[in-house]
Amino acid sequence: MSVATTANYLNEEKGLKSWLFTLDHKRIGMMYLFAVMIAFFLGGVFAILIRLELLNPGQDFFTADTYNQLFTLHGAVMIFLFIIPAIPAALGNFVLPLMLGAKDVAFPRLNLASFYIYVVGALFALYSIVAGAVDTGWTFYTPYSTTTSTSVISMTLGAFILGFSSIFTGVNFIATIHKLRAPGMTWFKMPLMVWALYATSIIQVLATPVLGITLLLLIIERTIGIGIFDPAMGGDPVLFQHFFWFYSHPAVYIMILPGMGIISELVTTFSKKKIFGYKLIAYSSLGIALISFLVWGHHMFTSGQSEFSSMVFSFLTFFVGIPSGIKMFNWLATMYKGRITFEAPMLYTIAFMFLFAIGGLTGIMLGAISIDIHMHDTYFVVAHFHYTMMGGTVIAFLGGMHYWWPKIWGRMYSEKWARVAWALIFVGFNVTFFTQFFLGSQGMPRRYYNYLDQYQPLHMYSTYGSWMLGVGFLIMAYYLIYSIYKGPKAPNNPWGGLTMEWQTTSPPIQHNFEEQPVLEHEPYDYDTRMVVNDQLIKKEDVKEKENINV
Amino acid sequence: MEQQNTATAHHVLPLSLYFTVAGVLFVLTGITVAISFVHFGEFNIIVAMLIATVKASLVALYFMHLKYDNKLFMAVFLSSLIFLGLFLTLTMTDTMHRGDIDPIKEHPIKKEAVFYNK
């Protein structure tokens, strides 16, 4: 199969201009991937520097002020520039139309606009780093954010602009899923990744404008002194937190939902078994999207909001556990008695389930007011959200990237090095962050650059873990980039997947499919279908042939 | 995009309907002003929001033809209202109940903004 020599989306048009002005969802997805990877690298460097300062108590490498700027930038870059666009805008852009059997997204120009708006927002954020980086924490809480002399306005304006990019992607995906499904693909025959992207898009469209309003109000208060959040002018600082978390709590589901979508794909492909509880997984994505809007107050138990309010939000928070649990148990049930193989994407899937279970359950702990009052603003919270965001979303993103890498580039990466990197990342992650649960429960506050001597051993382990993580990511960067140029050619369907993106060539041709594909089976019909030499065949046919041969 | 139903896209309403709706809007504006002299305590905001919602709905339904348009747009419009309601209601579980259990001893720094005192 001379795949790479045939025309495909990578080689059909050449030159920088053909990339910069492309309307092809695959190329836009790749440009997004490139951009979010730069952001991930930058955020990662900030993280390594933070951990370096925390290796010993007292001031070692940075002043307290620089440290404040470092953790703010780590948070802001990772959240706004990396993790929110990482799965939907980069991987999702590439696979969504392929999974639906469509030529492109519904609005290709809006798609390109979304990317350039992202770039403009990122430039504002970068400018703010040069012009006196923000030191408020990524949450920009008032009243400090209205009084600090650092460049709050350019960073928040950057986040405001990035919000539009996110909304554009959301609108585009909703229209695409409604209108461009292949013949035969009813709502309940869509791959679960598509359901997850749909739920994500709904949150993006509904919640992001509120962040925009919040950041604008903050800018207005800072520039012309209208009292909205400042109590000296009749404002209410807790109101800022309501505004901020009304977006930012649903936003954590913008991050995790597409990750869960990836896991649904991976777990069934590498178990070669029909997904258990398709409809429940699909509905639970929508359920999470809905509940995500009702729980924001659990970030504010110690902010001075009313006790009644805390009680209501704590009660509602526990409901998130239900759809998340449904997904978890359905994935486990899918693996049960499946023919599981442990290629790199499946290793990430298992890591996800392990880490997300810890992240999710500690989330339930923190949702209980009595515990949260003690744990609030300690490393326990830091460990919790890194287990969900990094152990969950980033691990799922890496799993998805390894899964679709052969489809994207038409090349295979080194499985051996992929396993080495996986092991380093998995172990490094746990060494870095599991220690932080202990630190937090013993009272180590977050966002402090100095600490008592008693915390030093745990801080040291955590820093060593961050180095392991760093090495793991460097190895990954090396073998992935190497594979693009020197990797062996990938077959069209290296994992034996049944969803539509595997029915086209690797890499796909410019218009995705030679002719309009028609869906004749459910997305995960592994009980009746199998893939042999890139060909999707019915198991009955194989049996008949075998009978004839006998 | 949703132009397949041309009959609804070119719906023309009688002029009298527009004037009636405009009249109702004026009356409601009058009520808003009048009611600002009556103090309902914490229900002030509910009454004000109620009248404002009715007015906005009239404008959207008749002046903006939402009533005669594709029902999808109605769904989008209503869901945005529901989400606004959700935001306000849950935020008010905080703002209306502060100090219920643990009384607030300090007075607010200043009751009204400097901005409004000028």
Calculate how close chain B gets to A122, using CA atoms only, in Å. 29
Q: Which residues of A touch B90 (CB under 8 A)?
A: 294, 296-297, 309, 312-313
A296/B95 Cβ within 8 A: no
CA separation for the pair A352, A367 (Å, rounded) = 22
pLDDT 10s digits, B41-69: 778 888 888 999 899 999 999 998 888 88
The answer to whether residue B22 is domain-embedded is yes
Q: Which of the residues B79, B81, B83, B94 would you substitute to probe the A interface, choosing the one with the greatest number of A C-beta atoms within 10 Å?
A: B94
- Out of A234, A238, A300, name the one closest to residue B113 (CB): A234
pLDDT 10s digits, A358-408: 999 999 999 999 999 999 999 999 999 999 999 999 999 999 999 999 999
Number of domains composing chain B:
1
What's residue A472's pLDDT?
97
Is A234 an 8 Å CB contact of chain B? Answer: yes
What is the band of B118 on the pLDDT scale with cuts at 50, 70, 90? very low
Q: Which residues of B touch A239 (CB under 8 A)?
A: 91, 95
- Out of B100, B102, B113, name the one closest to residue A227 (CB): B113
What is the band of A436 on the pLDDT scale with cuts at 50, 70, 90? very high
B102/A296 Cβ within 8 A: no
Chain A residue nearest residue B80, CA to CA: A206
CA separation for the pair A118, A88 (Å, rounded) = 13
CA distances from A240 to A141, A303, B28, B43, B68 (A): 7, 11, 32, 23, 39
**pLDDT surpasses 70 at A283:** yes
What is the band of A535 on the pLDDT scale with cuts at 50, 70, 90? confident
Is A226 an 8 Å CB contact of chain B? Answer: yes
B115/A227 Cβ within 8 A: yes
Q: Which of the residues A244, A309, A317, A319 would you substitute to probe the B interface, choosing the one with the greatest number of B C-beta atoms within 10 Å?
A: A309
pLDDT 10s digits, B71-86: 888 998 888 888 888 9
pLDDT 10s digits, A45-62: 999 999 999 999 999 999
Chain A residue nearest residue B108, CA to CA: A231
What's residue B2's pLDDT?
44
What is the band of A143 on the pLDDT scale with cuts at 50, 70, 90? confident
The answer to whether residue B49 is domain-embedded is yes
Pairing relationship of beta strands A535-538 and A529-532 according to DSSP bridges: antiparallel
Cβ proximity of A516 and A182 under 8 Å:
yes
**pLDDT surpasses 60 at A172:** yes
B94/A309 Cβ within 8 A: yes
Calculate how close chain B gets to A391, using CA atoms only, in Å. 30
Cβ proximity of A21 and A45 under 8 Å:
no
- Out of A231, A238, A300, name the one closest to residue B108 (CB): A231
Q: B44-58 and B15-35 helices cross at what angle (nearest 10)?
A: 170
CA separation for the pair A76, A306 (Å, rounded) = 29
Residue labelled with tokens 């239900």: A322
3-state secondary structure of A150: coil
A154-169 burial code (b ≥16 CB/10 A, e <16): bbbbbbbbbbbbbbbb
Question: Which residue ranges form the domains of chain A, and what is each CATH number?
Answer: 22-549 (1.20.210.10)
Calculate how close chain B gets to A371, using CA atoms only, in Å. 19
Is A294 an 8 Å CB contact of chain B? Answer: yes
Q: Which residues of A touch B93 (CB under 8 A)?
A: 297, 306, 308-309, 312
The answer to whether residue B17 is domain-embedded is yes
What's residue B113's pLDDT?
47
A293/B94 Cβ within 8 A: no
Is A297 an 8 Å CB contact of chain B? Answer: yes
CA separation for the pair A94, A171 (Å, rounded) = 16
The runs of H, that is alpha helices, within A376-455 are 379-388, 395-409, 415-441
Is A307 an 8 Å CB contact of chain B? Answer: yes
**pLDDT surpasses 80 at B109:** no
What's residue B111's pLDDT?
55
The answer to whether residue B77 is domain-embedded is no
**pLDDT surpasses 80 at A2:** no
A306/B94 Cβ within 8 A: yes
- Out of B93, B97, B109, name the one closest to residue A232 (CB): B109
3-state secondary structure of B11: coil
**What average pLDDT does the structure give for chain A?**
93
CA distances from A469 to A51, A352, B12 (A): 12, 16, 66
The answer to whether residue B64 is domain-embedded is yes
Is B75 an 8 Å CB contact of chain A? Answer: no
Query: Residue A100's closest CA among A36, A169, A176?
Result: A176
Q: Which residues of B touch A294 (CB under 8 A)?
A: 86, 90
Beta-bridge mates of residue A512: A509
Distance from the Cα of residue A286 to its chain's centroid: 17
* Domain that includes residue B34, residue range: 6-69
- Out of B90, B108, B111, name the one closest to residue A297 (CB): B90
A312/B93 Cβ within 8 A: yes
Is A296 an 8 Å CB contact of chain B? Answer: yes
The answer to whether residue B25 is domain-embedded is yes
- Out of A235, A300, A308, name the one closest to residue B97 (CB): A308
The answer to whether residue B115 is domain-embedded is no
**pLDDT surpasses 90 at B12:** no
3-state secondary structure of A76: helix
pLDDT 10s digits, A299-326: 999 998 999 999 999 999 999 999 999 9
What's residue B95's pLDDT?
87
B43 or A469, which is more confident: A469
Chain A residue nearest residue B114, CA to CA: A233
Calculate how close chain B gets to A148, using CA atoms only, in Å. 20
The answer to whether residue B76 is domain-embedded is no
Is A236 an 8 Å CB contact of chain B? Answer: yes
What's residue A461's pLDDT?
96
Query: Residue A251's closest CA among A122, A79, A368, A398?
Result: A79
Calculate how close chain A gets to B84, using CA atoms only, in Å. 10
Beta-bridge mates of residue A536: A531
Q: Which of residues 80-99 of B touch A (CB under 8 A)?
A: 80, 83, 86-87, 90-91, 93-99
Beta-bridge mates of residue A27: none
- DSSP state string for A305-321: --HHHHHHHHHHHGGGH
B94/A242 Cβ within 8 A: yes
| Percent with pLDDT over 90 in chain A | 85
Element (H, E) at A123: helix A108-130
Q: What is the token pair recorded at A530?
A: 């199998």
Amino acid type, A204: Q
